[in-house]
Amino acid sequence: MTEKKVTKTKRDPKALAERIARLSLEKKATDVLVLDLRKISPVADFFVICSGESDVQVKAIVDHIEEELAKENTTAWHREGYDFLRWVLLDFVDVVVHVFQPEVRSYYALESLWGDAEITEFKDES
């Protein structure tokens, strides 16, 4: 795996999480949620959780998020799961993105695990 240069920005974590949620919708992600963890955990400020129906769709969602944010000088510090495309994690430090296939998302149930978080649902407006 090649090392990626990480460009640090002073981007507002909430705005970044919302931007990522909207980008995932552009690739038809489903069940898009932003969990606000600021009051309950030091792990991250926000989780963005969404689903793609297949390996191909999960890859498309992840690639789109990375490509569009790179244009805005924002790159993930770390990426995991891209080789298998069942659960891909993108770590932007203050915002952690989880792109799941539905059965894996159901199994891990992050929404339940972080049930005390304030949750905002994002839907396709079209």
Query: How does pLDDT run across 29-69, given as a tens digit for each residue?
Result: 999 999 999 999 999 999 999 999 999 999 999 999 999 99
Q: What is the pLDDT of residues 4-37, one digit of tens each?
A: 444 445 679 999 999 999 999 999 999 999 999 9
Radius of gyration of the chain (CA): 13
- Please give the sequence-ordered ranges of beta strands (E in DSSP) within 1-126, or none if there are none: 30-36, 46-51, 78-80, 87-91, 95-100, 118-122
Q: Say if 124 falls within a structural domain.
A: no
Q: Say if 3 falls within a structural domain.
A: no
**Total Cβ atoms within 10 A of residue 95:** 26
User: Residue 114: which of 40, 14, 59, 45 has the closest Cα?
Assistant: 40
Q: Say if 70 falls within a structural domain.
A: yes
Q: Say if 64 falls within a structural domain.
A: yes
CATH number of the domain within which 21 lies: 3.30.460.10
Between CA 39 and CA 45, with CA 42 as vertex, the angle to 5 degrees is 65
Structural domains of the chain, count: 1
Predicted TM-score (pTM) of this structure: 0.90
Q: Say if 96 falls within a structural domain.
A: yes
